[in-house]
Amino acid sequence: MSDFGLIINGERVVTANSFDVINPATEELVAKCPAADEDHVNQAVAAAKAAFEHWSQVSDDERKAACHKVADLLEQNAAELAGIVTEEQGKPLGGFAGMGSQFELGGAIAWCRTTAELQLPVKVAQDDDQMRVELHRKPLGVVGSITPWNWPLMIAIWHVMPAIRSGNTVVIKPSPYTPLSTLRFVELANQVLPPGVLNIVTGTDEIGPVLTGHPDVNKIVFTGSTATGKKIMQSASGNLKRLTLELGGNDAGIVLADANVEEIAPAIFGSSFINAGQTCAALKRLYVHDSLYDQVCDALLGIANSVTVGNGLEEGIDFGPVQNQPQLKKVVELAEDAKANGARFLCGGEQPEGAGYFYPITLVADIKDGSRLVDEEPFGPILPIIRYSDIEEVFALANDNPAGLGGSIWSSDVAKAAELANRMECGTVWINNHAAIQPNVPFGGVKQSGFGVEFAEEGLEEYTSIQAVFIPKG
């Protein structure tokens, strides 16, 4: 087990208390993690506030170079970081279609480099004989980041890099289930960042409100559940903090009658079960036209029967466990409710005996809206497949959900599918794909999936305010 400490003002801080980080595949101890208290949070915020005075004024080129140096460190330590992610989160090193912890490291590096190259140029609103009006983007101050357990390192990068690229300083609090890879990342980043620019506090949920309610924190960026997002909004209201909230999704995919099942089935399976279904933008409700329903079920079942579930540190494993026991309990509850209401389980549906929070890849047919498994986000390796016959009905069903993160349309007629895309009430629509996010494309939700966007220039702007400068002429 590695030795971990908080990083505050560039220094490692040892805490009096610690908590256990458990490997979800074995239920064995991975490491003791430092448990921060309110004083540690206050110290971290004070360090970030002091560092902001300098960091906000350094040149754009210097901040760009720092982001690239962080990416260099991630590349140099990729094997170590991927191993930590697998141990604490459970996803395999390689995984199905190469979407495991090594992929997470590759994504983190790519987002670092893309973010480093982003610019926020001065825009001119007016330039005539009387007046030139310039619009400048200015950093906000201290950013509080709260990250989830499903993609712990990559989402930390999504939060941290645009914040420091735009001149802010950061205090990050990772999930207590998966804090170790983020602790190591922050430790590495502090080799190239000035003290106080990036700080980390780890602990249980009690310290979250200290950060979100802190009067010296100017923005909160949060990825996680809608319920927690609502609490953060309340906590952040004291000083009207800026917020970016990427909350739960219950993404619908619609298979049209003209789809080529053989071509789309692998992509549907991969985008439904990426990270064992523990991805906000994964496909979680699959609506299939009646004429293709049995064919789609058979195709997905064939893939499901070919994959392996196990300890992600072992060779040849496609999917790991559910990350934690409470989430596993939720998946089991939704599956049992579907059984009690007559749904047909094509595969899976039974929790195996033995150590680890494992649940098999599960496909559920003959199920309808109104079932908990369809209406609620399972966030696990289980997919409901809903039959439909009327195109108007299926869009009504897909949209009749409080979540609005992503959606997809599957069809052999790409132009037709693209025309239908704007009928989906969600932040992103994919055609013949799902969950394929990119660092150069804004990503965010509508309805109760949150507000604000991440990635690209639009995401970088979320970490700034606009200052209009009126310059008279003559």
Report, as residue numbers or ranges, the catalytic residues: 246, 280
Longest dimension (CA), the chain: 82
Cβ neighbors of 197 (< 8 A, separation 6 or more) are 48, 51, 55, 164, 169, 170
Distance CA 95, CA 110 (A): 19
Q: Is the dihedral of CA 275, 402, 439, 202 positive or negative?
A: negative
Distance CA 44, CA 172 (A): 9
Cβ neighbors of 255 (< 8 A, separation 6 or more) are 264, 268, 286, 287, 288, 289, 292, 296, 410, 411
User: How far apart, in Å, are the Cα atoms of 97 and each of 228, 267, 271, 442?
Assistant: 32, 10, 10, 25
Q: Is the dihedral of CA 377, 448, 414, 114 positive or negative?
A: negative
CB 292 within 8 A of CB 257: yes
Distance CA 41, CA 39 (A): 5
Burial class (CB in 10 A: 0-12, 13-18, 19+), 208: buried
Distance CA 187, CA 259 (A): 49
Residue 91 backbone phi and psi in degrees, to 5 = -65, 145
Distance CA 38, CA 209 (A): 10
End-to-end CA distance of the chain: 69
E strand or H helix at 283, and its extent?
strand 283-289
Angle at the Cα of 451 (from 449 to 452), degrees rounded to 5? 135
DSSP state of 402: S
Within 10 angstroms of residue 418's Cβ, the number of other Cβ atoms is 13
Distance CA 144, CA 41 (A): 10
CB 153 within 8 A of CB 181: yes
Distance CA 44, CA 355 (A): 38
